[in-house]
Amino acid sequence: MNSLKRIKPLEGHFPVLVKEVIDCLNIKKDGTYVDGTVGLGGHSSLILESISNKGRLVGIDRDARTLEICKDNLNHKKKNFSLHNDSYENINSVLKSQGIATVDGILLDLGLSSYQLNDSKRGFSFNGNGELDMRFDMSQTTKAKDILNHYEPNLLANIIYKYGEERRSRIIAKNITKVRPLNKINELVEAIRISTPPKNRKKSIARVFQALRITVNDELKKLDDFLLNFYKNLNIGGIIAIISFHSLEDRIVKHQFKRLEKESVLKIITKRPVTPSSEELELNIRSRSSKLRVAQKV
């Protein structure tokens, strides 16, 4: 049966590129696999279905709240998994804590879950009116509002331009500083509204929110750090699969895969990124920007 048909949404969340991920991982029945951004367990539930009781799944996520839900979701499948409240770039130490040196496959899904987006208290979506938080790890101190209220205008503009690729970053940053303090989502949206023309304004808002989320969670540095060392935890023939959702992430993955292929560490399986099918787009419009890149350790 098609994976798209048999996977059920978890807390209203559809994991993206499910069939493509499972196919690319080429799962061994007794293999060991890491889901470095396990979230609610959408992809992991199918990995568990694909491995025997001798196989093993290790799930990692920075969001302790989603891990609690994930544990309940996966317990309905099998018990041969462990979950860890950590960041995927610490994969080596997580595996070492479990007595594991190398694995047969690693998956990263770098997107937000619908569960996170729909929680107005988390501040990820500009459609709600919660606090400007945006932390994956709720134990860390820096929130989006701290950046908005305390960063110098030039630094704030640079963040919006670099991580949001927003051309009107200077005027947006200037208006943010004029209306400080900002604590709620609607206050930031209003600062962006007065800084941008109506055409494509929603895109500008989305870019600013993306830039803040990346900064709060140090996302690109964590991805860079992971890509420098992950292959040491892969068996020969093991698969690395990474789903990205914006050009900055995809560019990093693409260039690092190419570097590692040039160094004869990896063989790139997807010469071009895999994107969602029309069937998936009908089921989940939020998957439209997802891109999957896959490589194999040689």
pLDDT above 90 (res 102): yes
Task: From 236, 238, 255, 237, select the one nearest 293 (Cα to Cα).
Answer: 255
Name the phi and psi angles at 276, rounded to 5.
Answer: -65, 145
Report domain extents, the chain. Answer: 3-115+220-297, 125-218
Q: Which residue has the higher pLDDT, 287 or 110?
A: 110
> Above pLDDT 90, what percent of the chain?
84
pLDDT of 117 over the 90 cut: no
Q: How does pLDDT run across 68-97, given as a tens digit for each residue? A: 999 999 988 788 999 999 999 999 999 999
Q: What is the reported pLDDT for 3?
A: 44
Q: Tell me the per-residue pLDDT of 39-72, one tens digit each, with 9 for 90 and over.
A: 999 999 999 999 999 999 999 999 999 999 999 9
Give the Cα separation of 15 and 284 in Å (integer): 9
Superfamily of domain 125-218: Putative methyltransferase TM0872, insert domain (1.10.150.170)
Among the listed residues 103, 59, 66, 99, the one whose alpha carbon sits nearest the alpha carbon of residue 81: 59
Residue 257 pLDDT exceeds 90? yes
| Least confident piece of the model among 6-15, 57-66, 247-256 | 6-15
Is pLDDT of 12 > 90? Answer: no
Sheet containing strand 266-268, strands side by side:
81-85, 56-61, 32-35, 103-109, 234-244, 291-297, 266-268
What is the CATH code for 3-115+220-297?
3.40.50.150
User: In whole numbers, what is the pLDDT of the chain averaged over residues?
Assistant: 93
* DSSP-assigned letters across all residues of 74-132: HHTT-S-EEEEES-GGGHHHHHHHTT---EEEEEEE-SPPHHHHH-TTT---TTS--BS
Exposed/middle/buried for residue 270 (C-beta within 10 Å: 0-12, 13-18, 19+): middle
Using alpha carbons, list the distances in angstroms from residue 156 to 48, 126, 208. Answer: 43, 18, 10
Residue type, 148: L
Task: Compute the C-alpha angle 181/185/188, nearest 5°.
Answer: 55
pLDDT of residue 290: 95
Question: Is the pLDDT confidence value at 10 over 60?
Answer: no
Q: Kindly give, in sequence order, each residue whose CB lies less than 8 Å from that of residue 68, ignoring residues fewer than 6 positions away.
A: none
Query: Tokens representing 200?
Result: 């494509």
The pLDDT score that the predictor gives to residue 101 is: 97
pLDDT reported for residue 35: 98
φ/ψ of residue 237, rounded to 5? 90, -5
Alpha helices, H only, the chain: 3-6, 18-25, 42-50, 64-75, 91-97, 114-118, 144-150, 153-164, 169-178, 185-193, 201-217, 219-229, 247-262, 278-283
Alpha-carbon distance 253 to 36, whole Å? 15
> Given a cut of 70, is residue 11 above it in pLDDT?
no
* pLDDT band of 8, cuts 50, 70, 90: low
Q: Is 190 helix (H, G, I), strand (E, B) or coil?
A: helix
Confidence of residue 281 (pLDDT cuts 50, 70, 90): confident
**Banded pLDDT at 113 (limits 50, 70, 90):** confident
> What amino acid occupies position 6?
R
Query: Which pLDDT does position 69 carry in this prediction?
Result: 93
Q: Do domains 3-115+220-297 and 125-218 have the same CATH topology?
A: no
Q: How many Cβ atoms sit within 10 Å of the Cβ of residue 174?
A: 15
pLDDT of residue 152: 97
4, pLDDT greater than 80? no
Q: What pLDDT is recorded for position 1?
A: 38
Q: What is the pLDDT of residue 13?
A: 57
Lowest mean pLDDT among 18-27, 111-120, 236-245: 111-120
